[in-house]
Amino acid sequence: MTNVMIKVGDESAESYIGALKHVDPSLNILEWPNYGNPDEIDVAMVWKLPHGELRKFPNLKLVISMAAGVDHVLSDPHYPKDIPLVRVTDPHMARSMAHWFIMNILQLHRETAYYNSLRLKKIWASDKAFDTDSICVGIMGLGYLGVHLATMLSNIGLRVQGWSRTSKKLEGIRSFTGDDGLAEMLKATNYLACLLPDTPATKGILDRSLFEKMPKGSFLLNAGRGNQLVEKDLTMALDNGQIKGAALDVFIEEPLPQNHPFWNDHRIIITPHHAAEVFMPSAAKAFVENIERVRSGQPLKGLVNQKVGY
Ligand code: NAP
Ligand code: GLV
């Protein structure tokens, strides 16, 4: 029998346990902190487990991040680095993420907030045509989610380019790497879509100097992690017109504090870190598959490279 300890942020794990047991009824799943004898725990499934907890399980064979990002695990200074860490790579999540970007790119492009304000005044203003050909989306992070996004944007007729640590070959999508590559991509990007993981190399990457490399009046969309954006630089760039509008799903502090200036800034679309959630009917199968793989010594899916931090 495999004993699994689960903790899903502040949520009850009940529905997650139900979905996992539906796939493999033999799993013994215990919700943190009532996991019984720590020596008997084989697998930890976690989202925002308090730091220091994982080292309490001496016989752990696998850690599963119940998210695509693993910053919540790797930021734990006591994380037992010899234990393999896997993360969510799920097509349902990838589609959902692409939908978030498509929805917001089109809302920003078609000035939805402005037309909603006219509608409140019952004003019919049909004098504007939108030049969809003017859109060029630059994606920072062409990984599991970024590649899905690039393909879906391309399929709805938008120009797309992408930046990643290693070069990619994707039909119709220009791939850039390195600082010079990023600068070159930004020159021709007016919708910047960030889907980077939170690592030391990406902290604060969305700052004033980066915005200045884009054409004036560009748009920023971030669903990577809040740490990647220098929030005061965005406000400054919105004030001076370098950035015309933004859509943010992730923030330095979450939930976004009540007194945060972004709440009252109508140039920014805000969503509460739910661009792409883990969808258990789809993700549970992959979680269980990895548990079976670790049991039988097969290669794991979605294995994290702990050296690079994602
Ligand atoms: P992934 O497959 O690991 O992809 C990460 C991408 O970022 C890769 O293309 C990687 O380059 C690139 N990258 C990493 N560090 C870089 C650097 N220093 N310079 C240039 N490129 C770099 O991750 P994913 O599954 O696509 O997920 C991406 C992130 O989305 C997650 O880490 C998480 O933070 C965020 N996320 C947010 C939500 C939400 O609801 N808001 C939901 C899911 C995920 P290589 O391809 O060369 O390795
Ligand atoms: C959510 O933010 C995730 O990383 O899956």
| Co-location of 107 and 213 in the same domain | yes
Which CATH number goes with the domain that contains 51?
3.40.50.720
| Co-location of 97 and 56 in the same domain | no
| Co-location of 32 and 128 in the same domain | no
Q: What percent of the chain has pLDDT over 90?
A: 99
CA 198 to centroid of chain Cα atoms: 9
- Per-residue b/e over 200-223, b at no fewer than 16 CB within 10 Å? eebeebbbeebbebbeeebbbbbb
| Co-location of 212 and 174 in the same domain | yes
Average pLDDT over residues 249-255: 98
Report yes or no on 15 lying in a domain.
yes
CB 195 within 8 A of CB 97: yes
Report the DSSP pairing between strands 85-86 and 136-140: unpaired
> Active site includes 225?
yes
Q: What is the pLDDT of residue 122?
A: 98
> Active site includes 266?
no
* Maximum alpha-carbon separation in the chain: 69
Nearest CA to ligand 2 atom 1: 67
Report yes or no on 303 lying in a domain.
no
Model confidence pLDDT, tens digit, residues 206-225: 999 999 999 999 999 999 99
Domain count, the chain: 2
Q: Which atom of ligand 1 is nearest to the CA of 142?
A: 9
| Co-location of 54 and 96 in the same domain | no
Tell me the best of 140, 164, 175, 186 to mutate to test the pocket of ligand 1, counting ligand atoms within 8 Å of each CB and taking the most. Answer: 164
Q: What is the pTM of this model?
A: 0.97
Residues with Cβ within 8 Å of residue 285, at least 6 apart in sequence = 23
| Co-location of 49 and 143 in the same domain | no
Report yes or no on 307 lying in a domain.
no
- Domain extent, residue 58, equals 3-90+278-296
| Co-location of 182 and 65 in the same domain | no
| Co-location of 158 and 85 in the same domain | no
Average pLDDT over residues 238-253: 98
Taking the centre of ligand 2 as the mean of its atom positions, its distance from the CA of residue 236, in whole angstroms, is: 28
- Residues 188 and 289: their CA atoms lie apart, in Å, by 42
DSSP string, 219-257: EEEE-S-GGGB-HHHHHHHHHTTSEEEEEES--SSSSPP
Q: What is the pLDDT of residue 134?
A: 97
- Residues 265 and 235: their CA atoms lie apart, in Å, by 9
| Co-location of 135 and 11 in the same domain | no
Residues with Cβ within 8 Å of residue 24, at least 6 apart in sequence = 288, 291, 292
Ligand 1 proximal residues by C-beta, below 6 Å: 68-69, 97, 141-146, 163-166, 195-199, 201-202, 223-225, 249-250, 273-276, 310
Taking the centre of ligand 2 as the mean of its atom positions, its distance from the CA of residue 68, in whole angstroms, is: 5
